[in-house]
């Protein structure tokens, strides 16, 4: 053949691969960049604040798979994988031509042991695009896709993707999930020995998977061979550490901690990926153990289930979360989440009525309230013990959880009233305000433990409401001021004076720890609550049954209170946080003054005993006490004189309580010193407090029929008054003694009703009456 013809044919043969190469380059240049993770469904990995695994949950396709940046993979694993799988990874273009030539020479031309030439990029291409590389056409596709990926991504991105796709046996994909399942640690913490073991699995995941005993044996044999090679190539490696037998875990060994919280997060859309929570794993475990011991001691009382929520007050981060006493116990419906479930709070909402009442200027902590029978339309509130104790301070009424004073205060609230304030705090109240009425403060609604903790946290955070957080890194959250800082502090100080249950035992458990706390017991003994603040923590506990069954032992103070303090004893004391919590800030507009111990008002010169008390200047109703009054008494007869004329008369101090309180003292067997009768010819006038009309109540319309055609008129008088005179539209109806009703034969219409006592003090009200046949 002529030389020119040979040259012509060689030129044509060279044009074919050159054209193919140019076409391939053109296709790569014009190709769109592929996504490395288009359908990468991640599992959900939840970690505690210390980085320990709480739970690893399957992805939507029932695989354990987590995406991980290359920087979070142990350098030992990266080094071992490159050394074992693809030593020229950073030099080749996705296809290692030297390895291909070597494999062709060894496997085909010499007919020797089959060798692979697959690069990490080629393996990634097979996994990413779902290729079948066992056929010749499939292998060509794998080569093409490897070039395709190399063109659009840098080496580190491809290596990272390989580690996220690599198969590690069964339904485990990616080194992140494999590290957590097989070694119980994150990929960044792998040892050299563990890294060598994981390096071997992707090459033959079916035969070398540690999920089976046979797979472990095969993996250990391969690891021994690889370790020997590694030591030969790395003489400085510590042989003793690399040759130690490894303990492999399995999927059944995965932790399943804080299940209620994690279910709650998944229910809110937290699916797929790595989530670092604020849970203190060690403290969570101690609380679970303490709760188990507590229920074990009280099982004979029927106390079998409880929920606990502990949060950091300053950040509202969830530190411990127990939805039930035992998630796996079907007998107590353990999978129900008692932290997020809506339950009746009993008296646990009372502190916020007191806070609003102080904020709106109705009371201060030592204001005198009356625990006496009261009727509000058809609502007749009673106390838990069905008794009435008469006059007591606001602080005593709150910490002793008296119902009647709380209802009285709720009735006074406006702008906002209690209903609308709770709505502002995002408490779910699906019915209109009239549906709940004044029973709202007594637990006549439902609220979750989460929402209760948010309300109580306000008391320690200057009245600012903010949402709970579960992330380890506290995010900045918008706060909503719902109470003044002064009202919040005073309420907290009142709750701090709440005596502890069983002080002898509890003081040993948590000596000297100041705690502001409150309990609640729902109607028919279905729920027992206790919530407290101490240091930088807010802690809430609930005991009850998820089926709503009643138990007479489910009382907040005796069932939940002791548990609350047992759990508080598990927390590390923080003296600085405790001092900050219970000490008013310099900018706070609160002051302490001496107040009359008996009346809660500023002491007049006749008050025998006083004590310090807080108030809000310009807001709190601070007035001079009128309970103790000096009256002139004739020395010889002992009768009350018209005026003081010494030496015939002397001044004696008596207590003048409103008539309803005087009757309460009498019913309780407390005998007050009686004021002497007036001497002949003496009249009283222009002194004391005006009457308070209790019936009829303003704003109510009364309906009468033939059987009930009379309307009772009732008023509380000053302690010095003896008679109430009643007038309807300026027409005298009759007279009655203090706190005794006068029956008025009413007609239909609107009427102006007035009462005047024998001291000359008066009060009036407008009421409407309708009649039915």
Calculate the alpha carbon distances from 684 to 301, 567, 593, 658 in Å. Answer: 60, 60, 33, 16
pTM of the model as a whole: 0.86
Are 17 and 71 found together in one domain?
A: no
Rounded Cα–Cα distance for residues 330 and 336 (Å): 10
User: Percentage of the chain with pLDDT > 90?
Assistant: 61
Q: What is the pLDDT of residue 702?
A: 83
- By mean pLDDT, which of 8-12, 227-231, 304-308, 719-723 is the weakest? 8-12
* Same-domain pairing of 26 and 103: no
Is 217's pLDDT higher than 90?
yes
Residues 6+ apart with CB under 8 A from 769: 701, 702, 703, 704, 711, 746, 747, 748, 749, 750, 751
Query: Which CATH number covers residue 53?
Result: 1.10.3810.10
Q: What residues have CB less than 8 Å from 106, skipping those under 6 apart?
A: 112, 113, 115
Helix (H, G, I), strand (E, B) or coil at 540: strand
Do 51 and 104 fall within a single domain? Answer: yes
pLDDT of residue 513: 84
Q: Which residue has the higher pLDDT, 510 or 64?
A: 64
All residues at 6 or more sequence positions from 142 whose CB lies less than 8 Å from its CB, including other chains: 118, 122, 125, 126, 131, 133
3-state secondary structure string across 232-279:
HHCCCCCHHHHCCCCCCCCHHHCCECCHHHHHHHHHCCCCCEEEEECC
Q: Which of 450, 337, 327, 308 is nearest to 55 (CA)?
A: 327
- Is residue 675 a part of any domain in this protein? no
The answer to the question of residue 242 being in a domain is yes
- State yes or no: pLDDT of 418 exceeds 90: yes
Do 453 and 536 lie in a common domain? yes
**Is residue 630 in some structural domain?**
no
Tell me the average pLDDT across 380-402. Answer: 84
Tokens standing for 334?
A: 């353990």
Q: How is residue 557 annotated by DSSP?
A: I
Q: In sequence order, which residues have a C-beta less than 8 Å from that of residue 14 and are 6 or more positions away?
A: none
The pLDDT of residue 510 is above 80 = no
Which residue, 717, 716, 742, 749, is CA-closest to 727? Answer: 742
In this predicted structure, what is the pLDDT of residue 503? 55
Place 18 in a pLDDT band, splitting at 50, 70 and 90. very low
Checking if the pLDDT of 507 tops 70, the result is: no
Domain match, 325 and 419 both: yes
Residue 108's pLDDT band, with cuts at 50, 70 and 90, is: very low
Question: For residue 160, what are its two tokens?
Answer: 């990272």
What letter does residue 383 receive in the DSSP assignment? -
In a domain, 566, yes or no: yes
Q: Which of 290-304, 317-331, 652-666 has the lowest mean pLDDT?
A: 652-666
Interatomic CA distance for residues 694 and 91, integer angstroms: 94
The reported pLDDT for the residue numbered 20 is 46
Confidence grade of residue 65 (pLDDT, cut at 50, 70, 90)? very high
Beta strands in 550-648 (DSSP E): 591-596, 610-615, 628-634
Q: Which residues contact 51 (CB under 8 A, 6 or more apart)?
A: 186, 276
Query: What is the pLDDT, as a whole number, of residue 506?
Result: 47
Among 29-33, 263-267, 446-450, the least confident range = 29-33
Q: Are 575 and 541 in contact (CB under 8 A)?
A: no
For 621, what's the count of Cα atoms within 13 Å in the CB-facing half-sphere? 14
Give CA–CA dist 215/559, Å, rounded.
53
Averaged pLDDT for residues 373-387: 71
Domain hosting 749: range is 692-771
Instruction: Quote helix, strand, coil % in the chain, to nearest 5.
Output: 35, 20, 45
Confidence of residue 109 (pLDDT cuts 50, 70, 90): very low
Query: Which residues share a beta bridge with 391?
Result: 370
In the structure encoding, which two tokens stand for residue 581, read together? 């919590």
Q: Which of 557, 582, 607 is the last residue of a domain?
A: 582
Q: What is the pLDDT of residues 161-211, one digit of tens each?
A: 999 999 999 999 999 999 999 999 999 999 999 999 999 999 999 999 999
Model confidence at 684, in pLDDT bands (50, 70, 90)? low
Alpha helix positions (H), 474-585? 485-496, 503-509, 561-568, 575-582
Residue 106 clears pLDDT 80, i.e. is over it: no
Helix (H), strand (E) at residue 127: helix 120-129
For residues 595 and 602, what is the distance between their CA atoms, to the nearest angstrom? 5
Q: Are 541 and 307 in contact (CB under 8 A)?
A: yes
With CA atoms as reference, report the closest residue to 471 among 613, 300, 270: 270
The two tokens of residue 321 are: 């979360």
What pLDDT, in 10s, does the model give residues 452-474? 999 999 999 999 999 999 998 87
Taking residue 749's Cβ as centre, other Cβ atoms within 10 Å add up to 11
Q: Which two tokens stand for residue 724?
A: 């109430």
71 falls within a domain: yes
Compute the average pLDDT of residues 25-42. Answer: 79
719 in Cβ contact with 736 (< 8 Å): no
100 vs 233, more confident: 233
Residue 161 Cα to chain centre, angstroms: 39
Burial of 141: CB neighbours in 10 Å, binned 0-12, 13-18, 19+:
middle
CATH number at residue 447: 3.40.710.10
The domain total for the chain is 4
Q: Are 339 and 355 in contact (CB under 8 A)?
A: no
Q: Are residues 12 and 64 in the same domain?
A: no
Average the pLDDT over each of 164-178, 321-335, 395-409, 728-742 and give the range with the smallest value.
Answer: 728-742
CA neighbor of 441 nearest in space, from 349, 342, 344: 349
* Separation between Cα atoms, residue 450 and residue 338, nearest integer Å: 9
Rounded to whole angstroms, the Cα distance separating 496 from 631 reads: 40
Task: Write down which residue in 532, 552, 582 finishes a domain.
Answer: 582
**Is 364:590 a contact under the CB 8 Å cutoff?**
no
CB 324 within 8 A of CB 334: yes
d(CA 248, CA 182): 5
Q: Cβ(393)–Cβ(596) under 8 Å?
A: no
What is the mean predicted confidence (pLDDT) over 693-718?
82
Q: Residue 609 has which token pair?
A: 């005993």
Domain assignment present for residue 138? The answer is: yes
Residues 100 and 220 in one domain: yes
User: Looking at 6-20, 229-243, 530-544, which range is the least confident one?
Assistant: 6-20
Residue 349 near residue 443 (C-beta atoms within 8 A): yes
CA dihedral 95, 22, 17, 4 (to 10 degrees): -150
The candidate with the shortest Cα–Cα distance to 336, out of 305, 290, 374, 367, is 305
Task: Say yes or no: 13 and 56 in one domain.
Answer: no
Q: Identify whether residues 455 and 422 lie together within a single domain.
A: yes
Q: Are residues 54 and 18 in the same domain?
A: no
How far apart are alpha carbons 449 and 529 in whole angstroms? Answer: 9
With the CA atoms of 453, 455, 461 and 466 taken in that order, what torsion angle do they form, in degrees rounded to the nearest 10?
A: 90
Residues 47 and 21 in one domain: no
With a cut of 80, say whether residue 671 has pLDDT above it: no
User: Which pLDDT does position 1 carry in this prediction?
Assistant: 54
585-628 pLDDT, tens digit per residue, is 999 999 999 999 988 999 999 999 999 999 999 999 988 888 88
CATH of the domain at 744: 2.60.40.10
* b/e code 276-292 from CB counts within 10 Å (16+ = b): bbbbbbebbeebbebbe
Give the CA distances from residue 441 to residues 360, 422, 548, in Å, rounded to whole numbers and listed in that order: 17, 11, 21
Please identify, among 582, 600, 634, the residue that sits at the C-terminal boundary of a domain.
582
Comparing 51-55, 151-155, 685-689, which segment has the lowest mean pLDDT? 685-689
Task: Evaluate whether residue 480 is within a structural domain.
Answer: yes
Q: Is residue 323 part of a domain?
A: yes
Q: Is the pLDDT of residue 134 over 70?
A: yes
Q: Under DSSP, is residue 165 helix (H, G, I), strand (E, B) or coil?
A: helix
Q: Residue 358 pLDDT more than 90?
A: yes
pLDDT average, residue stretch 558-587: 94
Q: Are residues 59 and 204 in the same domain?
A: yes
**First and final C-alpha spacing in the chain:** 132
What does the DSSP 8-state code read for residue 346? G
- Beta bridge mates, 55: 46, 256
Contact indicator for 506, 500 with CB cutoff of 8 Å: yes
**Spatial distance between the Cα atoms of 157 and 149, rounded to a whole number of angstroms:** 10
Average pLDDT over residues 141-147: 88
- For residues 531, 446, 485, 477, the Cα torsion angle rounded to the nearest 10 degrees is 90
* Cα(746)–Cα(9) distance, integer angstroms: 127
Task: Calculate Rg over the CA atoms of the chain.
Answer: 40
Tell me: pLDDT of 350 over 50: yes
Residue 377: phi and psi, rounded to 5, are: 65, -120
* Of 561 and 236, the one with more pLDDT: 561
d(CA 320, CA 203): 42
Q: Whole-angstrom Cα distance, residue 44 to residue 262? A: 10
491 C-beta neighbours (distance < 10 Å), count: 31
């Amino acid at each position: 053949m002529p030389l020119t013809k040979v040259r012509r044919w060689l030129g044509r043969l060279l044009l074919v691969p050159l054209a193919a190469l140019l076409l391939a380059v053109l296709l790569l240049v014009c190709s769109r960049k592929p996504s490395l993770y288009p359908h990468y469904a991640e599992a959900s990995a939840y970690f505690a604040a210390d980085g320990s695994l709480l739970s690893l949950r399957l992805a939507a396709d029932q695989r354990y798979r987590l995406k991980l940046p290359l920087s979070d993979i142990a350098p030992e694993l990266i080094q071992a994988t490159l050394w074992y799988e693809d030593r020229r990874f950073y030099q080749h273009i996705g296809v290692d031509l030297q390895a291909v030539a070597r494999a062709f020479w060894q496997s085909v031309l010499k007919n020797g042991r089959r060798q692979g030439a697959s690069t990490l990029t080629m393996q990634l291409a097979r996994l990413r695009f779902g290729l079948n590389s066992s056929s010749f056409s499939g292998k060509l596709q794998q080569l093409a896709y490897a070039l395709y990926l190399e063109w659009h991504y840098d080496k580190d991105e491809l290596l990272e993707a390989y580690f996220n796709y690599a198969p590690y046996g069964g339904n485990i994909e990616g080194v992140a999930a494999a590290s957590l399942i097989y070694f119980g640690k994150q990929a960044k913490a792998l040892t050299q020995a563990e890294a060598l073991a994981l390096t071997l699995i992707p090459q033959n995941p079916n035969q070398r998977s540690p999920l089976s005993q046979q797979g472990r044996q095969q993996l250990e044999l391969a690891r021994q061979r690889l370790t020997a090679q590694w030591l030969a190539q790395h003489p400085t490696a510590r042989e003793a550490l690399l040759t130690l037998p490894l303990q492999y875990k399995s999927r059944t060994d995965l932790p399943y901690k804080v299940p209620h919280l994690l279910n709650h997060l998944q229910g809110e859309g937290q699916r797929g990926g790595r989530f670092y929570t604020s849970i203190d794993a060690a403290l969570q475990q101690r609380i679970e153990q303490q709760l188990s011991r507590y229920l074990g001691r009280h099982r004979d009382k029927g106390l079998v289930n409880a929920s606990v929520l502990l949060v950091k007050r300053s950040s509202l981060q969830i530190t411990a979360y127990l939805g039930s006493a035992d998630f796996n116990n079907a007998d107590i419906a353990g999978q129900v989440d008692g932290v997020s479930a809506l339950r009746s709070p009993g008296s646990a909402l009372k502190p916020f009525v007191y806070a609003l009442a102080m904020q709106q200027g109705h009371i201060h902590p030592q204001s005198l309230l009356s625990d006496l029978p009261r009727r509000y339309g058809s609502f007749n509130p009673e106390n838990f013990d069905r008794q009435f104790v008469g006059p007591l301070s606001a602080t005593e009424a709150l910490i002793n959880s008296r119902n009647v004073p709380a209802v009285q205060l709720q009735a006074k609230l406006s702008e906002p009233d209690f209903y609308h304030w709770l709505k502002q705090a995002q408490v779910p109240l699906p019915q209109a305000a009239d549906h709940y009425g004044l029973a709202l403060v007594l637990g006549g609604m439902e609220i979750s433990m989460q929402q209760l903790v948010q309300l109580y946290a306000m008391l320690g955070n200057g009245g600012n409401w903010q949402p709970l957080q579960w992330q380890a890194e506290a995010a900045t959250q918008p706060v909503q001021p719902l109470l003044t800082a002064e009202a919040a502090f005073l309420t907290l100080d009142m709750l701090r004076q709440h005596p502890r249950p069983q002080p002898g035992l509890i003081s040993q458990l948590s000596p000297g720890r100041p705690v502001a706390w409150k309990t609640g017991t729902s109607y028919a003994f279905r729920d027992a609550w206790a919530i407290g603040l101490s240091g930088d923590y807010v802690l809430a506990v609930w005991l009850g049954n998820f089926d709503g069954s009643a138990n007479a032992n489910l009382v907040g103070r005796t069932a939940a209170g002791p548990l609350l303090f047992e759990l508080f004893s598990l927390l590390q004391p923080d003296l600085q946080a405790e001092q900050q919590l219970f000490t008013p800030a310099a900018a706070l507009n609160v002051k302490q003054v001496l107040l009359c111990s008996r009346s809660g008002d500023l002491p007049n010169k006749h008050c025998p005993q006083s004590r310090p008390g807080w108030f809000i200047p310009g807001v709190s109703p601070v007035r001079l006490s009128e309970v103790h009054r000096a009256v002139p008494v004739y020395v010889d007869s002992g009768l009350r004189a018209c005026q003081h004329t010494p030496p015939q008369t002397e001044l004696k101090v008596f207590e003048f309580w409103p008539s309803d309180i005087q009757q309460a003292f009498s019913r309780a067997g407390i005998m007050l010193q009686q004021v002497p009768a007036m001497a002949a010819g003496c009249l009283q006038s222009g002194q004391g407090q005006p009457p308070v009309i209790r019936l009829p109540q303003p704003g109510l319309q009364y309906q009468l029929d033939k059987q009930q055609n009379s309307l009772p008129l009732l008023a509380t008088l000053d302690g010095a008054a003896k008679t109430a005179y009643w007038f309807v539209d300026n027409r005298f109806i009759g007279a009655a003694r203090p706190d005794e009703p006068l029956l008025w034969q009413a007609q239909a219409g609107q009427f102006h009703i007035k009462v005047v006592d024998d001291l000359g003090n008066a009060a009036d009200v407008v009421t409407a009456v309708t009649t039915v046949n």
